[in-house]
Homo-oligomer: A and B are copies of this chain.
Amino acid sequence: MNIALDMMGGDYAPLEAVKGISLFLAEGHYKVSLTLIGDEAKLGPLLEAHNIPLVNITIVHASQEIAMHEHPTKALREKQQSSIAIGFHLLATGKTAAFISAGNTGAMLVGALFSIKAMEGVTRPTIGAYIPREDGTLGLLVDAGINADCKPENLNQFATLGALYAEHILGFKNPKVGLVNMGEEEGKGNLLSQAAYPLLKENKHINFIGNIEGRDILLNKADVMVCEGFTGNIILKMAESLYDLVLRRAVRDEHFDRFNFEIYGGVPVLGVAKPVIIGHGISHAIAFKNMILTAERMIEKELMQKMKEVFTVKSVS
């Protein structure tokens, strides 16, 4: 199994990416080979300095970089030798099984959607976000911000994709799927959530538990929380800001510490044909390690295959 990693993406690249690899290897993942894409002249010495043996590691030189604020489509087209462009090329041509980057989010999305493409049957790929819960597990909020305006069918597909991810990657048995809404009873909500509810209710691929409200999001009510990207983005950023608040108030609490979203790295793009993971720009070593672990698990569990099977069934369209 080969996983490709953009070594130049993120605010602390390539150092934190190298440290992340070191953490990953320390856990003894012998079945995984890594393709590290980046500036060879920088990577070689760094890997050596961190005593990373080059067994099962290939360095692919990238002479260009896409900066964090470059225009995604333009940058991808014009910088064919950038680490992101090379990564998608390797993934598209089957030279690697997964691609991870904490670089330019827009370029990663464009690459995922246009070079890897949506799975057959998926109208809109999506990105989820983890929401820490009191029992130590992670809930999945989906969509976390890439699909601002959605149709009911989109929410239904997010639910299916999110449930498969929650089951196979987060380890929930028959994950509970809730529709983020402004009331508990069926029939409550805005036009979108009212129209999405019956679709979710009839969706045989998920364990739909009904509406969940704002007060349920930080609790354990649903394992997968479904909404359009506008609401999802606001929920996620509000949850992220809790950690800042807690730090400023000098509150020490194990649970609130888990609102430090830096540790989670990134969540995969769900609904594209191959594993693509987009990390947060501020990713540190542990985030890189976690993203490699997620990619490994996605491949091991054959998540993409499982998703494809569901979406070729007519009942989810």
Contacts and interface: CB of A to CB of B under 8 A. Distances in A.
Given A148-B189, A249-B256, A253-B249, A219 B241 contact: yes
Given A148-B182, A190-B230, A251 B241 contact: no
B248 A234 contact: no
**Do most interface residues of chain A lie in helix, strand or loop, or is the interface mixed?**
helix
A134 interface: yes
A33 interface: no
Contacts of A193: 230
Most chain B CB within a 10 A radius of its CB, from A134, A228, A231? A231
Contact of A234 (B191, B213, B241, B256): B213
B251 A235 contact: no
A209 interface: no
A244 B231 contact: no
Given A148-B189, A149-B191, A214-B233, 12 more contacts: A148-B182, A148-B191, A190-B229, A213-B234, A214-B234, A214-B235, A214-B239, A214-B241, A215-B238, A215-B241, A219-B241, A230-B231
Interface of A: 134, 145, 148-149, 180, 182, 189-191, 193, 213-219, 228-231, 233-242, 244-245, 248-249, 251, 253, 255-256
16 contacts: A134-B248, A189-B230, A190-B228, A190-B229, A190-B230, A214-B237, A214-B238, A215-B238, A215-B240, A215-B241, A218-B238, A234-B234, A238-B238, A249-B255, A249-B256, A251-B256
